[in-house]
Every structure is written in structure tokens, then in C-alpha cells.
Amino acid sequence: MNERKRVLVTGAGGFIGHHLVRRLKEDGYWVRGADIKEPEYEASAADEFEVLDLREMDNCLLATRGGIDQVYNLAADMGGIGYITAYHAAISRNNILINANMLEASRQNSVQRFLFSSSACVYAQDKQKSADVAPLREEDAYPADPEPGYGWEKLFAEELCRYYRKDYGFETRIVRFHNVYGPLGTYDGGKEKAPAAMCRKVALAADQAEVEIWGDGEQTRSFMYVDDCVEGLIRIMASDYHEALNLGTDELVTINQLVTMVAEIAGKRLDIRHNLSGPQGVRGRNSENSRTRRVLGWEPSIPLQKGLAVTYKWIASELRKAIAPQAEVIETTSSAAD
């Protein structure tokens, strides 16, 4: 029983936050969502949804008012590798403000427990130079050498959570996401992650055409379906563990393999064109899950093939909906010209 706990999800207008709100409501929680924007693809299931710029302290105090028991702090300025390598200053500034203000506002408003969403980008880059990378353990974040900008601000916010726990006795939880994907996520515009980008490119490609990917395609990653991510978040929040914890699968694939899997789901035969000048990030990254299994008695387990099938179907459907009105305009214009 959750005893009708009152929960705040920041970033509730985004991909993971939107799914989390829906799950929390299904589980019987009272939920307030807060974000700088409304959800893009469907209305939020939250009891209250407030459009707030959480870089501002007053807005963080407003979001955490009214006896909130738990805060899932998912709000962040982030995107795929192209985005996070292009805007180091803005991303770092925005996220440091959000995280510092949300921690302090939660403490001031007597929130019982605060979960911070960190990232696998905190891991030391010198441990990720090989495509057949050893799975990354939580302690591999130190000695510190995270990805510039986004990785550094995430690692600092992890430390800030520890300071708040030590100095104020404030209950914090820290989760490190490893490449989350699924339906209702950004799939174009520059902020999309690799699975969504590949699904979009394959959906738009004609059979026996080619798709472009950045790098030689042999860089490796593991990817976690959003339902596993949400389950893990709820379990971590409920746990007594307060150090950083990986949340990802250990199913390592190359980006070339990822494209092939999506093409097979789509029933297309496609060639790959490699753009060696595009940003690639680290050479390899995978999640080591022994601590997650020990602490939670569980780990993400939805196979990539299964999750991609659902994700591809949704993105292809969205693209068809976007293209249909354009086709109608072209047809109408053509008819008028006749």
C-alpha cells in the first residue's frame, strides 16, 4: 500500500517522466507533474500538471508545496550525442540550476525522499575506449573524467545529493540511466537518442535505399526499454540504498547491429552509409548490473528486439500522421491547378 502518497515528478512533460506519471497513477499515487512544457504526444495522467521553469527557485518551491512525500527529479536539458556535445555551457548551466534548486526546495518543504536522475555519461572516458568495453561498475565513475558538460554536471549533482544527506539528513536516491528508449519519446529535431533516430531513418527510407549513421557503426551501447526504466525508478525510490545505482541492460550491440535490427523489424533491406565526421561519443558503454540485482532483487530484462518493435511501430505511425496532411495539400493544390 502506498497510503496515497503525494508524489512530484519533474520533467513530467518529457519522455521518461510522462511514462512514470502514468505508472504512478496506475499504482494509486496522487501525482503532480511539473515541466517547462506540456507532454508532446498525449495529455498527462497527473492529478495536477504545472508548466514551470525549474531553473527558478520560486518555481521549485511552488512545485514542492503542499506536503509532497517523494520527488522524482527527472527534469533536465538533454538530448542525443549531437545535442549534448554542441551546447556544453547552456546544458551545464540549466541543469545545475534545476538540480540545486530542486534539492533545496525539496528540503525546505520537508519532502521525505528525493530521487535524482543521473546518467551513464558520468563514467570515466578512459574506461570506454574500446567497443568491447567491460561493463561499467558504479565505482568506475572515479577518478572522475566524465563526458564534458552534461557528464560533469550530472556527477556534481550526485555529489550534491550526498552532501544534502550528510549535512541535513535529507533522504536522497541516485540512479544512472543507460540509454532509455520507447514510444512517446523524441524522434527528430536533434534531441533524439540513437534508437529513435534509427527508427525514424528506417521508417522514412525506401526498401533497398540507404541510411546514414555517425561514425563507423562499430561503437557499442546497451539500451533500456522505458517500461524497465520506470519499474527500476519505483524500486530504487522504495529501497534503502542511497548511493548511485546503474539502471540499464547489459545487452551490448553495435550501432550497425541496431540499424540492422530496426530494418528487419520494418521488413526492409537497407545499406548503411557511415558519416565519419559526425559525433560518436565514447567508443563503448555497457551497464554492470550486479549491484542493481543485489539491492533491488531485479534488473531490466526486456530484450532490445522486443522493445524496438514497439518503438518502431509508434514512430512509423507518427511519421505517417505527419506526412498525410502534406500529401493532402499537394493533392489539393494539384487538383486546383488542373
| Residue 1 confidence class, pLDDT cut points 50, 70, 90 | very low
What confidence tens digit (pLDDT) does each residue in 22-51 have? Answer: 999 999 999 999 999 999 999 999 999 999
Mean pLDDT score, 264-289: 93
Q: How many domains does the chain have?
A: 1
135 domain-assigned: yes
Question: Distances in Å between the alpha carbon of 114 and those of 92, 156, 238?
Answer: 21, 16, 11
The DSSP code for 134 is P
Lowest mean pLDDT among 175-189, 247-261, 284-298, 318-332: 318-332
Q: Over the chain, what is the mean pLDDT?
A: 94
pLDDT the model gives residue 36: 98
**pLDDT surpassing 90 at residue 313:** yes
Q: What is the pLDDT of residue 334?
A: 43
Q: Mean per-residue pLDDT for 167-183? A: 98
Residue 256 lies in a domain: no
Please tell me whether the overall predicted TM-score, pTM, comes out greater than 0.85 for this model.
yes
Give me the percent of the chain exceeding a pLDDT of 70.
95
Say yes or no to pLDDT of 330 above 60: no
CA angle 319/322/327 to nearest 5° reads 115
- Identify the residue with better confidence: 190 or 187: 187
pLDDT of 329 over the 80 cut: no
Asked, for residue 336, whether it belongs to a domain, the answer is no
Alpha-carbon gap, residue 170 to 195, rounded angstroms: 36
What's the whole-number mean pLDDT along residues 289-318? Answer: 98
Residues 95-119: pLDDT tens digits?
999 999 999 999 999 999 999 999 9
pLDDT tens per residue across span 198-220: 999 999 999 999 999 999 999 99
How far are the Cα atoms of 86, 95, 193, 210 from residue 89, in angstroms, in the given order?
Answer: 9, 10, 20, 35
Find out whether 20 and 74 touch, Cβ atoms under 8 Å.
yes
Q: What angle do CA 244, 307, 295 make, to 5 degrees?
A: 25
Q: What is the dihedral of CA 122, 128, 133, 139, to 10 degrees?
A: -40
Strands 48-51 and 172-177: unpaired
Average pLDDT over residues 125-150: 96
> Is it the case that residue 333 has pLDDT exceeding 80?
no
Flag whether 295 is in a domain: yes
Distance CA 283, CA 71 (A): 34
pLDDT value, residue 332: 43
Q: Is 31 part of any domain?
A: yes
Instruction: Give the pLDDT confidence score for residue 80 in this predicted structure.
Output: 87
Distance (Å, whole) CA 42 – CA 281: 32
Is residue 210 one of the residues assigned to a domain?
Answer: no
Residue span of the structural domain in which 96 resides: 6-181+224-250+283-302
Nearest to 67 by CA among 13, 23, 30: 30
3-state secondary structure at position 281: coil
| Region of residue 178 (phi > 0: left; psi between -120 and 50: alpha; otherwise: beta) | beta
What Cα–Cα distance (Å) separates residue 26 from each residue in 4, 72, 73, 237, 312? 12, 16, 20, 17, 25
Please choose, from the candidates 274, 275, 266, the residue with its C-alpha nearest in 3D space to the C-alpha of residue 207. Answer: 266
The Cα-based distances of 248 to 179, 188, 197, 226 in angstroms read: 7, 23, 19, 10
pLDDT > 80? residue 143:
yes
The whole-number pLDDT of residue 3 equals: 67
Residue 56 lies in a domain: yes
Cα separation, 175 vs 177, whole angstroms: 6
The pair phi, psi for residue 286, each rounded to 5°, is: -145, 155
pLDDT band at 335 (very low <50, low <70, confident <90, very high): very low
Q: Within 10 A of 172 (CB to CB), how many other CB atoms are there?
A: 24
Whether a cis peptide bond, with omega within 30° of 0, leads into 39 is no
Confidence of residue 325 (pLDDT cuts 50, 70, 90): low
Please check the confidence at residue 276 and state whether its pLDDT lies above 90: no
In sequence order, the 6+-apart residues with CB closer than 8 A to the CB of 313 are 183
pLDDT at 279: 85
Hey, which residues are catalytic here? 150
CATH (domain of 134): 3.40.50.720
Determine, yes or no, domain membership for 114. Answer: yes
